[in-house]
């Protein structure tokens, strides 16, 4: 299964938070479309952030039972890439390489940046 878009934490929080009806409506539409058409995905990190937020934050506080139901009905079907240590290690390498590449982009950053670990020798 592939997806057209990644759905981040704030979309799920807006979907549950009725304090801003405009944002809630947009978020509900995005999440609904993703669930119905398989057009969106999310990550286990987003699931964790969302569950933590809805269990502890005042605006969208859910009971543990409601939280579990939301996890099962909305979040779990959108997780396409299960988290593994290897996946996290790969993400760190990609992020590190990207960071080093961006730091090389201007004379100012080249002069002021700390060395990347692979350049330290």
Residue numbers of the domain that contains 108: 85-119
Residue of higher predicted confidence among 98 and 63: 63
92 and 110 housed in the same domain: yes
Domain count, the chain: 2
Tokens, residue 5: 């878009």
| Residues pairing with 79 in the sheet | 42
Whether pLDDT at 115 is above 60: no
Instruction: Read off the DSSP letter of residue 72.
Output: I
Whether pLDDT at 68 is above 90: no
20 and 42 housed in the same domain: yes
| Amino acid 30: pLDDT | 93
Whether pLDDT at 87 is above 90: no
Look at the alpha carbons of 98, 102, 104, 108 in this order and tell me if their dihedral is positive or negative: negative
Reported as a single tens digit per residue, the pLDDT across 6-18 is 898 999 999 998 8
């Amino acid at each position: 299964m592939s997806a057209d878009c990644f759905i981040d934490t704030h979309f799920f929080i807006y979907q549950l938070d009725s304090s801003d009806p405009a944002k809630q409506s947009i978020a509900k539409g995005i999440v609904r479309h993703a669930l119905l058409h398989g057009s969106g995905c999310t990550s286990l990190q987003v699931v964790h952030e969302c569950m933590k937020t809805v269990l502890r934050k005042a605006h969208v506080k859910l009971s543990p039972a409601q939280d579990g139901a939301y996890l099962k009905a909305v979040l779990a079907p959108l997780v396409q890439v299960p988290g593994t240590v290897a996946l996290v290690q790969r993400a760190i390498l990609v992020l590190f390489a990207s960071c080093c590449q961006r730091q090389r982009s201007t004379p100012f950053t080249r002069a002021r940046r700390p060395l990347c670990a692979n350049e330290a020798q």
